[in-house]
Chain A
Amino acid sequence: MNPFIKVSGLSYQYDDVEESNNKAPILNNVSLEINEGEFVAVLGHNGSGKSTFAKLLNMILIPTEGEILINGKNICDPDMTDDDVLELRKNIGMVFQNPDNQLVATIVEDDVAFGPENLGIAPDEIRKRVDDALRDVGMSEYAHHEPHRLSGGQKQRVAIAGIMAMMPRCIIFDESTAMLDPMGRKEVMNSIVRLNREKNITVIMITHYMEEAAMADRIVVIDDGRIILDGTPFDVFEEEELLKSCGLNVPQSTALVHLLQNDGLNIDGKCVGLEECADAIAALILKEV
């Protein structure tokens, strides 16, 4: 099976580098394959190039070097027509950081309809998609509300519904939880996980929250424009020293497990999430007693 997204030798350099002495490209020779239905978290500290990577995937930015194949189609091809670009953006939706700056309309359902309207879909079908999308993110009862009266988490869920209504195969979340309070973050994360599990939508989640990355199937760590780690959350969190060297920390629960293991306690199981770690420690305590 061909991978859904295949990135090879990707480099990107911003044009306005003259001001800064730093001539290093923001992304440097990145190669990566992502399969359909995967849930990938892209980790990295500020300025590591992770957001740039996201913007390259749906042609908001054009790579300086390298090749991106989406569903077998080379999107770096200069012959891409406007229709091809629309088709690509329909398939790869993107949810951004600031919930306020991505809602266009003054009523929730009108905003969700914005994407499909742009695609020229028939009105009845749009209606159906909007209702479905709002149900999927649990915002049906807010369909007629004004976005500015919603909480951050609710706005972000509306933004997700707006992307869902275009029926994409992949959604990129560019630090979509960074501006939310813990409650809102939880709401949004639940929606993201559900989309991936139930709708089989490929999720690429750009983040710097370890707890969120732990929920993914796979973690890719980018530092200084290069991929330094790529694997399951368990494997990645094992490399605690390497993560620390690029300004990242393992989740607190994992850190605790690591500390206990260093003290000679034998915690078994590949535990990454909060619940799993708690269960593993509880099991150990029971065993010792």
Chain B
Amino acid sequence: MTVAMEKPEQTQTAEPIAPAVRVRRISRAMVVAAILVLWLVLFAVLRGKQTLSLAAADLTGLHRWLNDVNDSIGADRNSNPLFLYFFNEIRLIIDNLVTFIQDLISQPSDTRPVPQIGWLGVVGLTGYVSWAAGNWRVALLAVAGFTFFGLQGLWQESMDTLALTLSAVVVALLFAIPLGVWAGLSDRVNRIMTPVLDFMQTMPTFVYLAPLTLFFLIGGASAVIATVIYAAPPAIRITAHAIRSVPETTVEAADSLGATRRQSLLKVLLPMSKRTVVMGVNQTIMAALAMVTIAALIDAPGLGKTVLQALQSLDVGTAFNAGLAIVVMAIVLDRVTTAASAREEAARRSRNRFPKWRRPLLGAGAAVTAVLVYMSHTYVWAAEFPGDGGMGSSIAGGADDVTTWLQDNLSGLTNAFRDTITNGLLNPFQSLLTDSPWWLVGAVLIGLGVVLGGWRAGITTVVCLGLLLGTGLWSDAMTTLASTVVATVLVMVLGVVFGVWMGRSMLVDRVLRPSLDAAQVMPPFVYLVPFLALFGATRFTAIVAAIVYAAPVAMKIIADGVRAVPETTVEAATSAGCNTWQIITKVQLPMSRSALTLATNQGLIYVLSMVVVGGLVGAGALGYDVVAGFSQGELYGKGLAAGLAIVLLGVMFDRITQAAARRASA
């Protein structure tokens, strides 16, 4: 579950391949092939030996030790000074923030039966802020979106979710922006911070959810902190990136004019990177919304609860209705922050060209908004959303009908498809990974790391594999790895097909993009229930879930890459008589090679972030270990170790693919 709705950085177009490079590439491909052949030969000889498998209920010493640590922390919670003076204080501050926003928009406070600001006020405020920070089009979208929550009959739930999301984003940015600036200014800080951020983003939330409630109690504070852990990293990374990409000459110019360090930070670096930083805020909001259902597991109020409760009785319709509200909220917030960053950019380019009438209009808008807020504070009709959410029940009914139809009519077809993929691709690959001796798989992975990513990537691979052995879950990790690789291959196939299509046609892009956004923030279980009916509780269902979540990112990145290929090059190829197929395969794809590698990297990380969800629908292995650790005290340590294993797989592949990407674009 990494960043939802990744907006890729502009990918540079690669230079045409020089002949010398081509020779080296061929030899590299040959080395890879040789490694794979050797692996197959040794596999045939050594099959089933030293596979390090561990049964579902078995534990290792490390797992027991982690259990003991967890127990001892819990046992002296009430006497430990760290709890009394540190964690409790943090909890108090964050709890107050959450309660304050909830009283404002979602929960009745002491004397009032309704929140301070009713629906009319919230809709008015949202519209006004969207218009002031963005433009009138996103303001309309925001007003329509928020009114839609009320029509769905989910006003209060949506406002609870909004309150928690806002609190989490505020807290996240409070830390993220200074840390990001620091990491942007100092290489050393950046190097230390990167693995920490990787850890925060790939460690499955289930692993730290239970300890969090021990540290920060059940309630708003824990939910906010869980969300912050997951949502802050994108803002830190993007801020650092923004600071770094301010042209060196600009900074030097400021220096030569005698600017102090502080001045050049405040007057040059920060203003010039504002636009990208706003994109970081955007990513943080999206990531926070992706946590809504998980936070509901520790009693976070809002839409997540509605989804979970509906799914207990497999009420897909109701769950879909609430999921749709999350999607709408994500799209509104995404479009508004994107528009805000575009306005930032425009404002920076031309400080004076704003129409004169904007200021009075802003004032008038503020007055109208104030009236709306006042009315919603005072009158019942403006405080409580009128109607009974009839639209919500028709959406739920419609979703139910569609699900039933799919389940009834497609299952024969889907079973054949599932069996083909499972028997043809997944099973052979998985047995190759799990039935080979551990040292053989390790050697192959290290070899591939060195050949594809260079020596540094090779060293990272060695370290990661060593730690992976230490978790005691080697065999489970290999099972998960097999599904992950198969899912990533399918993600890339879809990514290339749709990415190229979207990259070549703006219209297709516009039509598809909202559904891609929806696929990324819709809580997975909403669409997994019909998938479970179609494919059963199998590894294949888990793969499908991963594809739904990861393919949109790959598509978006590839579409951007294809679009970045210079128009003139494509025109030249057309006039040279190339047909569409040739243009795609000989010009557009090769020239967006670094976008393809970035898409593979992100695709893989996103697939890994769905491992736990996969464990809930039949994937077994690491995902199941994490879920079991969350559910049973005795398995806690094993779940934590499994979470670590997922992080290690993620870091290993991230470093190899990134190094490979640098080589590809070099």
A binds B: no
User: Residues of A at under 8 Å CB distance from B?
Assistant: none
